[in-house]
Amino acid sequence: MAAPSSKRHLGRFGWTCLAAATSLCLTSSAFAASDVLRGEFAKVLEAIEKGEQEQVPDELAAYPLYPYLESKRLRRQIWKAPGDETDVAIIDWLDDNAALPLAKDFRADWLNSLPKRGEWARLHQYYEPTSRGSLQCHYVNARTRLEPKADVLADAKAQYLVGQSQPDACDPVFDWLEEQGELTDGLVRERAKLAMEAGQPNLVRYLLRQLPDDDSIQGYAQAWLTMRQGSARYIESVVKSRELPEAFEPIVEEAFKRLSRFDSERAWELLVPFTEVFGDRKTLLLRSRRDVAVGLAYDRDARAIPMFRTVPGYMLGPSAREWRVRSAMYFQDWEQVRTWIGEMPEEQRGEETWQYWLARAEVATGHPADARKRFREVAQERSYYGYLAADELSLPYAMNHVRAPVRANVQDNFRSLSGAERAREWYLIDRPREARVEWKAVTENLEKSDLMQAAQVAQSWGWYEQAIITLAQSQYWSDLDIRYPLPWSNEVIPLASEFGITPEDIWAITRSESLFARDAHSYAGARGLMQLMPATAREVARRDSIRYGGVSDLYDPTTNLRLGSRYLAELLERYDGSLALAAAAYNAGPHRVDRWKPAYPVETAIWAENIPFNATRGYVQKVLKHATGFHWQRTGQPMRVSQRMGDIQPDIEVAE
């Protein structure tokens, strides 16, 4: 008998249950919030969060998000009035609302407050598994106080044996290990090895201080630390000493890899004397040559090709095999391109990237029939390489737009799910973070066919970000109305006209940067729809006298689109209209793109393929693909990618 599926079907019922093990049903509701009630909730929510209101009005009890008002009030009480009364109220709330997705964060915040009051038993009782490292350690700390050593020891060691620095909350657990005599030199040594593997020199130094000076790992670890302070100096010292214990060979290998990535010229120079002194270290030399070859390829140095020829194919991983092909491609050695693609494993060789470039190599080496057949196969794809292949044969693009099937009853059932209602209400009061949590919870166990309907629901709300994501999760790729919406058209089209660029350029950058999430915030600090860094926004605003009041303005779509569009226009002007170069500069910075520019004219597709940053290379290809999709959506005709390509000229005057 087939095992029961944990996926949920929405087609027959207005409510569904998750897997039986959870005993949790997602009930439907006929409730439809009025604008007045929604507005009142938003005002009360803001007042409670600011501490301006303590009471939760009963008049809002029918509103789908009503339980969260009490959780917001109690969240403030955690710090304002900690104690049994607050804890009991929180426990009661969690018992009544455990099914709410945002309850997990509330529980975690509360539990994190308990150690300060020594409430270890309460933490132990109400803990639930979490990804928060500090809370994990607090829980293990509670267990060391309340459980037998044998039951806790393995988990305490697991918290310790991590190659990264752990939160301060873990220190009591590590102190307990030491008190129990379990923080042995062997355990410290094992963590030091993990820290070296993770590239954490500060943690390695800290751990070495806990070991005897004559510990077996001291010599190796000190050599590793020396290498991390300067790869070139370390290799020079090894060559000068003419001594290299076999156990230290991985350090030399890492040194060549690091140096090749950041200074391939110096790595090339040092490889010669190293080979003269340690010519008998065949495996180490082959690995070092491989890494130097990859570094030279990153820097578009012709010496990469002969260096790759000295390295047997079995020494190359997937990335090195790709860079071997890219180096030959950059210098128009098409016979070598054809040979090296042919030597890729079948799965890698079958990727559309390498099928396209293999066809290009076949054209250049006198195999036009094979090339045409391969181009036609790749051109069937709605993708960057599919568009390039179609341009080679002057074929129409395979846009193949087919709207996702509409199942009105399924969409109605989905809308009526309490989780979907909560997601919509959070979205309508402009709380996208909470809306995403609810949406993820209500869609995570849906069948693909139901995800397709959920995507259409999100689209009908104007929630383009989740519509695109959810449609992708359904693995239905042909509804271009969902994949390429035209949001903020009233702003984007006039801005494009004002700044002399196309609307598609703006939409393509925005989709690639934030997926139309106006509250997007990157780890690097970029903000808003077009992911502008505050410094960039400030400079663009100053140069063009654009009104800009500070970082918070970047979350305003109108301001963000104006500043971002103006910056994009500046980049397009700087790079003579090349969308590929402008997109690369938008992603990685103009200073890098200027450094990557060739010494002689290079076809843009070849240049883009040789961008050394994987993320930027993918970003450029994505922007060109999306610009094509948006042009099709706006005009009914796709923009030919080749029209935005051409050759990159070395003598382009770069404006300062």
pLDDT surpassing 80 at residue 655? no
Task: Please state the rounded mean pLDDT for residues 372-389.
Answer: 98
Domain count across the chain: 5
Question: Considering only 18-22, 427-431, 519-523, which range has the smallest mean pLDDT?
Answer: 18-22
What pLDDT, on the 0 to 100 scale, is given for residue 147?
A: 98
Domain shared by 438 and 507, yes or no: no
- The terminus-to-terminus CA distance of the chain in angstroms comes to 71
- Nearest-angstrom CA–CA distance, 186 and 85: 46
Q: What are phi and psi of 387, to 5 degrees?
A: -70, -40
Return the higher-pLDDT residue of 259 and 653: 259
- List the catalytic residues: 513
- Do residues 127 and 166 share a domain? yes
HEC readout, 56-70: CCHHHCCCCCHHHHH
Query: Angle, nearest 10°, between helix axes 149-160 and 185-197?
Result: 30
Indicate whether 456 and 562 sit together in one domain. no
pLDDT of residue 11: 59
Residues 151 and 85 in one domain: yes
- Domain stop point among 477, 509, 533: 477
Classify burial at 509, counting beta carbons within 10 Å of its beta carbon; exposed 0-12, middle 13-18, buried 19 or more: buried
Residues 6+ apart with CB under 8 A from 56: 44, 48, 66, 69, 70, 73
Domain assignment present for 379: no
* Proportion of the chain above pLDDT 90, given as a percent: 91
Residue 262 and residue 328 in one domain: yes
Cross-strand bridge partners of residue 26: 16
pLDDT at 611 over 80: yes
CA distances from 631 to 399, 565, 627 (A): 11, 17, 6
The mean pLDDT of 490-507, rounded to a whole number, is 98
Residue 449 lies in a domain: yes
- pLDDT band, very low/low/confident/very high, at 560 (cuts 50, 70, 90): very high
Taking only the tens place, the pLDDT of each residue in 193-248 is 999 999 999 999 999 999 999 999 999 999 999 999 999 999 999 999 999 999 99
d(CA 92, CA 168) in angstroms, rounded, equals 30
Q: Is the pLDDT of residue 400 over 90?
A: yes
Give backbone dihedrals phi and psi of 582, rounded to 5 degrees, phi first.
Answer: -65, -40
The pLDDT assigned to 31 comes to 57
Confidence of residue 7 (pLDDT cuts 50, 70, 90): low
- 229 with 316, same domain: the answer is yes
Instruction: Quickly state the pLDDT bin for 644 (edges 50, 70, 90).
Output: confident
**What is the DSSP secondary-structure string of 410-477?**
HHHHHHHBHHHHHHHHHHHTT-HHHHHHHHHHHHTTB-HHHHHHHHHHHHHHT-HHHHHHHHHHTT--
Residue 350 φ/ψ, nearest 5 degrees? -80, -10
627-to-28, 257, 590, 636 alpha-carbon distances in Å? 40, 37, 21, 13
- Could you tell me the pTM of the whole model? 0.91
| 328 and 425 within one domain | no
Say what the pLDDT of residue 606 is.
Answer: 97
From the list 608, 606, 603, 605, the residue with the least C-alpha distance to 593 is: 608
**Domain limit, last residue, from 115, 143, 177:** 177
Q: Quick check: 127 and 111 in contact, CB under 8 A?
A: yes
pLDDT band of residue 25 (cuts 50, 70, 90) is very low
Give the mean pLDDT of 265-292. Answer: 98
Q: For residue 412, what pLDDT band results from cuts at 50, 70 and 90? A: very high
Confidence band for 649, pLDDT divided at 50, 70 and 90: confident
603 membership: H or E segment, kind and range: strand 602-603
Q: What is the pLDDT of residue 521?
A: 95
Could you give the residue ranges of the DSSP H alpha helices within 98-217? 103-113, 120-126, 133-146, 149-160, 171-179, 185-197, 201-208
Q: Are residues 452 and 511 both part of a single domain?
A: no
Close Cβ partners of 472 (under 8 Å, ≥ 6 residues apart): none
pLDDT number for residue 653: 47
Helix (H) or strand (E) holding 25: strand 25-26
Residue range(s) defining the domain that contains residue 447: 408-477
Q: Do 100 and 149 fall within a single domain?
A: yes
pLDDT tens profile 297-342: 999 999 999 999 999 999 999 999 999 999 999 999 999 999 999 9
Close Cβ partners of 84 (under 8 Å, ≥ 6 residues apart): none
Helix axes 503-514, 614-635, angle to 10 degrees: 130
Q: Is 373 inside a domain boundary?
A: no
Q: What is the pLDDT of residue 16?
A: 40
In a domain, 12, yes or no: no
Q: Which residues contact 289 (CB under 8 A, 6 or more apart)?
A: 271, 307, 310, 311
What's the confidence (pLDDT) of residue 478?
97
Mean pLDDT of the 28-35 span: 63
- What is the number of other CB atoms lying within 10 angstroms of the CB of residue 1? 3
Residue in 417, 412, 413, 411 with CA at minimum distance from that of residue 26:
417
* pLDDT on residue 219: 97
Considering the domain architecture, whether residues 497 and 441 belong to the same structural domain is answered as no
Q: Are residues 210 and 233 in the same domain?
A: no
Q: Are 290 and 322 in contact (CB under 8 A)?
A: no
The CATH number of the domain where 109 resides is what?
1.25.20.10
87-145 pLDDT, tens digit each: 999 999 999 999 999 999 999 999 999 999 999 999 999 999 999 999 999 999 999 99
Query: Mean pLDDT across the stretch 13-40?
Result: 54
Residue 7, domain member (yes or no): no
Say if 3 falls within a structural domain.
no
pLDDT value at residue 8: 59
Query: b/e map of 406-419 (b: 16 or more CB within 10 Å)?
Result: ebeebbebbbbbbb
As a whole number of angstroms, the distance between CA 534 and CA 422 comes to 33
Find tokens 């209209």 and name the residue. Answer: 577
* pLDDT at position 650: 79
Which run of H or E residues covers position 16?
Answer: strand 16-17
Residue 643 banded pLDDT, cuts 50, 70, 90: confident
Domain boundary among 308, 336, 367: 367
In tens, the pLDDT along 565-599 reads 999 999 999 999 999 999 999 999 999 999 999 98
Q: Give 144-171 pLDDT, tens digit per residue.
A: 999 999 999 999 999 999 999 999 999 9
**Confidence check: pLDDT of 652 > 50:** no
Q: What digits encode the pLDDT tens for the residues 436-464?
A: 999 999 999 999 999 999 999 999 999 99
Q: Write down the mean pLDDT value for the chain.
A: 94
Q: Would you state the pLDDT for residue 648? A: 87
For residues 251 and 307, membership in a common domain is answered with yes
Q: Which residues of 110-149 are buried (b: 16+ CB within 10 A; e: fewer)?
A: bbbbbbeeebbebbbebbeebebebbbbbbbbbbbeeeee
Residue 2 included in any domain: no
Q: What does the radius of gyration of the chain's CA atoms come to, in whole angstroms? A: 29
Residue 569 falls within a domain, yes or no? yes
